Amino acid sequence: MAEGSDTTLTAEQTAGAAPTGLVAGIRSFAAAHGGAKAVIEYVGKRGARIVLVGTDGAWGDQFAEDTVTAREACSQAGVAVENAWERELMDQMRPSNDLWRSMARRTMSR
């Protein structure tokens, strides 16, 4: 039997160039809000959600095909990626009045 295995699966993915539209969107958000930080959330087959929080409290999101692409896009845009939702980052977020109104209309189902 041969040493090693040619069927070993690895979770390592190589980072390539992120789509220019994604990088431009992240840069645009950061420029409009005095800088930004990002949190990347894996959302299954849909890919990865990049939640951007501006220094002014505004927030928005972008979608990437996977977490590697999302991290690369943030890196190319010059936006720091946080590893998790830290309290300081959540305290910085300021939801708009429209968002509060839309959440008030929703009812919880049992």
Q: What's the confidence (pLDDT) of residue 95?
A: 65
**The predicted structure's pLDDT at residue 102:** 62
- How much is the pLDDT for 4? 46
Q: Chunked in runs of 10, what are the mean pLDDT values of the chain (110 residues)?
A: 43 65 94 92 91 88 93 95 76 65 58
For the chain, the DSSP string reads: --SS-S----------PPPHHHHHHHHHHHHHTT-EEEEEEE-GGG-EEEEEEETTS-EEEEEESSHHHHHHHHHHHT-EEESS--HHHHHH----HHHHHHHHH-----
pTM: 0.69
pLDDT at position 14 is 53
